[in-house]
Amino acid sequence: MLEIFTLTLLTLFAITSVVAAYLAIRERDLVKAVVYSAIQSAMYALIYYVLMAPDIVLVYIPVSVGLIPAVLLFVIKKTERYEGD
Amino acid sequence: MKKADVFVIASIIVFILSLAYITALGGLGPLPPINVRRIAINYLNLTYNTFTPYLTVFALESVTSIVWDFRGLDTLYETAVFYAAIIASIALYRGVYMDFKKNTEKTGLSPIAKTVTRISLILIPTVSASVALHGHLTPGGGFQAGSIATVVIVLSIIIFSRYFLPIHGLSKNKALLFRSIGLLGIAITSIALLLIAIVLGVNAYIFQNQAKIDAPLSFPSLVDNYILGGSLLFFNLFEFIAVAFGFTIVFLLLSISEEKVKKVTMDG
């Protein structure tokens, strides 16, 4: 029972991350794309947590949800916000 | 979201699920064994084992033990790569100086955001310090703690302003100084026992933590019933300092205005 629950959780997180990744690629507003990318990373962090790798979770959450979006936002501020045709 | 997007997402999900099903059935080659491998059993046995005093680490956290003791040199070189990247970013921004603007009251986001951030400015460093100092007992370690602490830097740059940190005394050069202290600490910890052994005239290894059969020196592993994990505590602490201030340098440099950077780098 527990195994089925764990696997269902994993599947849900993985599918959400796929949806977020697709939306991040499709989005023309780069700031929104960064937010989608952060959602995808948060799902990955949850997957690591369910797979019992708390050390990775502790480094993955600040780096992928905090620092990488911050770097990307800084970089977007230096260029254009909307992707052209 | 358009209809086409929904269709594409649904087909991607179906593709991934069918691929997972095929993989689970063994269609893409043999599956890895699900039982614990021998090397993992050895790591788990030796992380804290008083019956094998010449092989154990005397720390409760096996991941940190592997990272800083069993495979310590690997981590040292990974750390070196990270610091080389930061040195490169400093070199790119050479000649660009950070400006000090005295009045930070009018810059930054709203007072609500600032008040909330002031609370987190205390909470987040506390969490990161506990992650660093307990890295040999519970999940965590120097890099994790350093990256958690950097979130404070990013928050204060975004919420207050880019002048907030330099005005409060954290300039790029000071961060560089602290980062160098962290690096120096890692270097000294890795050869500390070797230096003492040369003075005493006994045998020792680089990156030695606990005593080996032919090398009698070891870091303190148990002080007043508190498990220290030997050199792991020092490595975690110094890595925490080095990573936190290394990231701080990068974010301070990124926050400098683009016109100023262009003016300096384009004109030479």
Summarize pLDDT for B108-159 with one digit per residue, the tens. Answer: 888 899 999 999 999 999 999 999 999 889 998 899 999 999 999 999 988 9
* Number of domains present in the structure of chain B: 1
Average pLDDT over residues B203-210: 88
Q: CB B16 to CB A67 under 8 A?
A: no
Cα distance between residue A78 and residue B51, in whole Å = 59
Q: Indicate yes or no: CB of A58 within 8 angstroms of CB of B63.
A: no
Instruction: Give the gap in angstroms from C-alpha A51 to the nearest C-alpha of chain B.
Output: 13
Range(s) of the domain holding residue B127 = 61-267
Look up the domain containing A15 and give its range: 2-78
**Based on the structure, what is the number of domains in chain A?**
1
Nearest C-alpha of chain A: how many angstroms from B1?
Answer: 9
The token pair at B192 is: 């500390």
- The pLDDT, as a whole number, for residue A61 is 92
Residue B238 to residue B111: CA distance in whole angstroms: 35
- Per the model's pLDDT, the better-predicted residue between B19 and B100 turns out to be B19
Q: Is residue B44 part of a domain?
A: no
Report the pLDDT value the prediction gives residue B31, as an integer from 0 to 100: 85
pLDDT of amino acid B102 = 65
Nearest to B144 among A15, A55, A71 (CB): A55
In a domain, A12, yes or no: yes
Looking at residue B179, what is its pLDDT?
A: 93
Flag whether pLDDT at B218 surpasses 90.
Answer: no
B260-264 mean pLDDT: 80
Burial letters B147-170, b for 16+ CB under 10 A, else e: bbbbbbbbbbbbbbbbbbbbeeeb
**What count of CB pairs under 8 Å joins A to B?**
59
- What is the per-residue pLDDT for B181? 94
pLDDT score for A85 = 62
pLDDT for the residue numbered B32: 82
The verdict on B137 touching A (C-beta cutoff 8 Å) is no
Cross-chain Cβ contact B255/A74 below 8 Å = yes
B259 touches chain A (CB under 8 A): no
Whether A30 shows a pLDDT value over 80: the answer reads: yes
Cα A33 to chain centroid, rounded:
10
Within-domain flag for A19: yes
Task: Give the closest residue to B137 by CA, choosing from B31, B249, B236.
Answer: B236
Indicate if the pLDDT at residue A69 is higher than 70: yes
**Residue A16 — pLDDT band, cuts 50, 70, 90?**
very high
In a domain, A58, yes or no: yes
Mean pLDDT of B241-246: 94
Tell me whether B208 touches chain A (CB under 8 Å).
no
CA A21/CA B27 separation, integer angstroms: 27
| Per-residue pLDDT, B199 | 93
Say yes or no for a CB contact (<8 Å) between A66 and B150: yes
Q: What is the mean pLDDT of residues A78-82?
A: 86
Yes or no, beta carbons of B144 and A15 under 8 Å apart: no
For residue B240, what is the nearest residue in chain A, using CA coordinates?
Answer: A59
Place of tokens 């680089």: B206
Residue B248, CA distances (Å) to B111, B123, B150 in order = 24, 18, 6
Among chain A residues, CA nearest to B13: A15
| pLDDT band at B268; cut points 50, 70, 90 | low
Q: Identify the residue whose tokens are 């909307």.
A: A82
pLDDT at B150: 93
Confidence band, pLDDT 50/70/90 cuts, at residue B95: confident
Pairing relationship of beta strands B226-227 and B222-223 according to DSSP bridges: antiparallel
With 70 as the cut, is the pLDDT of residue B103 above it? no
**Domain contains A85:** no
What pLDDT shows up at residue B22?
93
Q: Are B240 and B178 in contact (CB under 8 A)?
A: no
Residue B120 lies in a domain: yes
* Weakest mean pLDDT among B13-17, B159-163, B245-249, B262-266: B262-266
**pLDDT score of A79 more than 90:** no
Average pLDDT, chain A: 91
Is A12 in the B-facing interface, judged by CB distances under 8 Å? no
